C-alpha cells in the first residue's frame, strides 16, 4: 500500500530535508540507508533562503547529540522549522525549548501529573473511550480511521487531564492540526502561526479561571505551583499548556493511525495480534518504532564538538533523524520488518536524555488501549481507498485512512 516514489541516494544533494512535501510524497528509506552507511553525519547545504544544517542519521550519533546537553541547546528551537527561521517564540518558557535549571524545575512540576501512578487512574476510562470509538466506527461502515478513531483518542485523554470543557475540544483539535502540520502541500506559514496564537490565547483565558486552587487538573497544577516561592509566569503557563496539547495530541494520533496501516500492510502481524500471540506492551513499542510520529529533533551547537569525524561549530543547526535511527541495522535486527514481538526495541520515538518525552507513558497507554480494542472487537480491516499523508517536516503521519472495520462476532465493548 506504500506507493510513494522511492528517492534514489543519487539525488541526496538535490533534495531538501526541511521541505514538508518531500516527507509527505516520497519514500526516503533508500536515502537514509545510504546516509547511515556512507555519510552518517552530513552537511545539508543551504536551500533557497534557508541556512544549511547537519543531518545525523545513525542511532549511535543521535544518542551522542541527545546526551550532549552541555554542547547542544533546544533554546534556538527543537526542530528545523523553527531553528532555520530565527528560533522558537516559546524559547525559555515552554519545556521542550527550555534548558538548564528552569527546564528541570518546570519538568519536575509536570512529572507529578504524568507519572504512571497518576495515569493508571485513567487507564480504564481510556479503554471505555477507545472501545466506544471502535464500535461507532464499526457501525458507521465506511469510516475514516484517522478522523473517527485516532483523532479522538489522544485529544480526549489530554483534554481530560487539562480539564478542557467538552464544547471546546473539537475547535482545539482543528487548531492543533494546523499548528505543526497541514493537510495541504502549500499551506501558508500564517495558518500555523495563527493556530498557535489561538491556542495560546485559549489557555491564557482558561488559566485565569484555574488559579483559585479549587481544581486538580494539570492547568490548575501549573497555575498554582511555585518555584522558589514564585508562581510560573503567564508566558510559562500558556506555553506549557500549549506544549502539552500540541505534544500530546497530534503525535499520538499519528502513531494510532500508522499502527493500523502497518497491521493492514502486514497481515501476518494482524493475524498474530488476533490470535493473542503477541505481548501487548511489546507490540506497542513496535508501533512506536515503526510509525515514529516525530521525524526529527533539532538542536543548536553551543560549544565546539565532533561527531562521526565531523566538526560542528558553535551556532550550527543539527537535525537528528528519528525516522532513520529507528531503522538502523546496527541496533535493530531486520529493521525494515514490522514485528510486534520485537525485543529488545530501544527506539528513539520519544527521543532520549533531558527532553525525553514527558507524555511517553500516556502515549503508550493510548496505543495499548487501541491495539487491545482492535484485537477484541475487530475481525478484519478492509482498505477503502488510499491513505493521505500530512504535510510536515516535523511530524510523520496520515490525515486520512479510509477503511471498513469488520466486527468480531459476539464481542462486547468495555463499559
Ligand atoms: C517531548 C514524541 C506523546 C508531551 C517529546 C520529544 C519527542 C516526543 C520526540 C522530544 C523532543 C526533543 O527532544 O526535542 C512524542 C510522541 C508521542 C508523544 C511520538 C506519541 C506517540 C506525548 C504526550 C504528551 C507529550 C501524550 C503529553 C500529554 C511532551 C512534552 C515534551 C515532549 C511536554 C517536552 C519534554 C521536555 O522538553 O522536557 N515528545 N510525544 N508527548 N513530549 Fe512527547
SS3 readout for 163-216: CCCHHHHHHHHHHHHHHCCECCCCCCHHHHHHHHHHHHHHHHHHHHCCCCCCCC
CA of 217 to the centre of ligand 1 (A): 19
Residue nearest to atom 17 of ligand 1 (CA): 251
| 68-94 tens-digit pLDDT | 999 999 999 999 999 999 999 899 999
Q: Hey, how many other C-beta atoms are within 10 angstroms of the C-beta on 277?
A: 11
ipTM above 0.90, yes or no: yes
What is the per-residue pLDDT for 184?
Answer: 57
Cβ–ligand 1 distance for 252 under 6 Å, the answer: yes
Cβ–ligand 1 distance for 41 under 6 Å, the answer: no
What is the per-residue pLDDT for 350?
Answer: 98
Domain span at residue 297? 9-407
Question: How much of the chain, in percent, has pLDDT values that exceed 70?
Answer: 96
What is the per-residue pLDDT for 111?
Answer: 94
Check if the beta carbon of residue 17 is closer than 8 Å to that of residue 393: yes
Assign residue 77 the CATH number of its domain: 1.10.630.10
Q: Which atom of ligand 1 is nearest to the CA of 352?
A: 13
Check if the beta carbon of residue 31 is closer than 8 Å to that of residue 57: no
CA of 285 to the centre of ligand 1 (A): 15
CA of 185 to the centre of ligand 1 (A): 25
Cβ–ligand 1 distance for 95 under 6 Å, the answer: yes
Cβ–ligand 1 distance for 153 under 6 Å, the answer: no
* Length of the chain measured in residues: 415
386 located within any domain: yes
Q: pLDDT band at residue 214, thresholds of 50, 70 and 90?
A: confident
362 located within any domain: yes
227 located within any domain: yes
CA of 193 to the centre of ligand 1 (A): 20
4 located within any domain: no
Residue nearest to atom 20 of ligand 1 (CA): 252
What is the per-residue pLDDT for 182?
Answer: 59
Report how far residue 347's alpha carbon sits from residue 328's, in angstroms, rounded to the nearest whole number.
10
What is the per-residue pLDDT for 186?
Answer: 62
| 108-123 tens-digit pLDDT | 999 999 988 889 888 9
413 located within any domain: no
131 located within any domain: yes
Q: Could you identify the residue written with the cell 495563527?
A: 194
| 181-194 tens-digit pLDDT | 556 566 565 667 78
| 122-168 tens-digit pLDDT | 899 999 999 999 999 999 999 999 999 999 999 889 999 999 998 99
CA of 244 to the centre of ligand 1 (A): 8
In testing the pocket of ligand 1, which one of 88, 126, 240, 247 has its CB within 8 Å of the most ligand atoms? Answer: 247
| 391-401 tens-digit pLDDT | 999 999 999 99
Average pLDDT over residues 359-377: 98
Report how far residue 18's alpha carbon sits from residue 413's, in angstroms, rounded to the nearest whole number.
43
Q: Hey, how many other C-beta atoms are within 10 angstroms of the C-beta on 400?
A: 16
Using alpha carbons, select from 90, 358, 405, 351 the residue that is nearest to residue 238: 90
Report how far residue 15's alpha carbon sits from residue 47's, in angstroms, rounded to the nearest whole number.
9
Average pLDDT over residues 172-179: 76
377 located within any domain: yes
Residue nearest to atom 30 of ligand 1 (CA): 358
What is the per-residue pLDDT for 183?
Answer: 63
| 271-283 tens-digit pLDDT | 999 999 999 999 9
Residue nearest to atom 5 of ligand 1 (CA): 357
Domain count, the chain: 1
Cβ–ligand 1 distance for 335 under 6 Å, the answer: no
415 located within any domain: no
Residue nearest to atom 32 of ligand 1 (CA): 357
- Asked if residue 1 has pLDDT above 60, the reply is no
Amino acid at each position: 500500500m506504500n506507493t510513494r516514489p522511492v528517492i534514489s541516494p543519487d539525488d541526496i544533494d538535490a533534495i531538501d530535508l526541511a521541505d514538508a512535501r518531500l516527507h509527505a510524497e516520497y519514500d526516503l528509506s533508500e536515502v537514509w540507508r545510504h546516509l547511515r552507511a556512507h555519510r552518517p553525519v552530513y552537511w545539508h547545504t543551504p536551500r533557497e533562503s534557508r541556512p544549511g544544517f547537519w543531518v545525523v542519521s545513525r542511532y549511535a550519533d543521535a544518542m551522542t547529540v541527545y546526551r550532549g546537553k552541555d554542547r547542544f541547546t533546544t533554546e534556538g528551537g527543537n526542530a528545523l522549522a523553527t531553528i532555520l527561521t530565527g528560533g522558537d517564540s516559546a524559547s525559555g518558557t515552554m519545556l521542550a525549548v527550555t534548558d538548564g535549571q528552569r527546564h528541570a524545575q518546570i519538568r519536575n512540576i509536570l512529572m507529578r501529573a504524568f507519572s504512571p501512578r497518576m495515569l493508571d487512574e485513567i487507564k480504564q476510562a481510556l479503554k471505555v473511550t477507545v472501545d466506544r470509538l471502535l464500535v461507532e466506527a464499526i457501525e458507521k461502515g465506511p469510516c475514516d480511521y484517522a478522523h473517527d478513531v485516532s483523532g479522538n483518542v489522544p485529544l480526549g485523554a489530554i483534554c481530560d487531564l487539562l480539564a478542557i470543557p467538552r464544547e471546546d475540544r473539537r475547535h482545539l483539535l482543528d487548531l492543533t492540526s494546523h499548528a505543526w502540520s497541514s493537510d495541504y502541500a502549500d499551506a501558508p506559514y500564517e495558518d500555523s502561526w495563527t493556530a498557535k496564537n489561538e491556542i495560546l490565547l485559549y489557555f491564557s483565558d482558561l488559566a485565569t479561571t484555574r488559579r483559585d486552587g479549587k481544581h486538580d487538573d494539570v492547568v490548575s497544577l501549573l497555575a498554582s505551583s511555585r518555584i522558589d516561592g514564585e508562581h510560573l509566569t503567564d508566558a510559562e503557563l500558556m506555553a506549557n499548556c500549549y506544549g502539552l496539547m500540541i505534544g500530546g495530541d497530534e503525535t499520538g494520533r499519528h502513531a494510532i493511525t500508522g499502527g493500523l496501516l502497518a497491521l493492514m500492510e502486514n497481515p501476518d502481524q494482524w493475524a498474530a495480534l488476533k490470535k493473542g500471540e503477541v505481548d501487548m506492551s511489546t507490540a506497542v513499542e513496535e508501533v512506536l518504532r515503526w510509525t515514529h510520529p516525530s521525524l526529527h529533533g533539532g538542536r543548536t551547537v553551543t560549544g565546539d564538538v565532533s561527531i562521526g569525524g565531523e566538526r560542528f561549530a558553535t551556532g550550527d543547526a543539527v537535525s537528528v533523524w528519528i525516522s532513520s535511527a529507528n531503522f538502523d541495522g546496527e541496533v535493530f535486527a531486520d529493521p525494515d520488518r514490522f514485528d510486534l514481538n520485537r525485543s529488545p526495541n530501544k527506539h528513539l520515538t520519544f527521543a532520549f536524555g533531558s527532553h525525553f518525552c514527558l507524555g511517553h507513558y500516556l502515549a503508550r497507554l493510548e496505543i495499548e488501549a487501541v491495539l487491545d480494542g482492535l484485537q477484541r472487537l475487530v475481525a478484519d480491516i478492509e482498505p477503502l481507498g488510499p491513505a493521505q499523508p500530512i504535510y510536515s517536516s516535523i511530524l510523520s503521519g496520515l490525515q486520512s485512512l479510509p477503511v471498513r472495520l469488520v466486527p468480531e462476532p459476539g464481542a462486547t465493548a468495555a463499559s
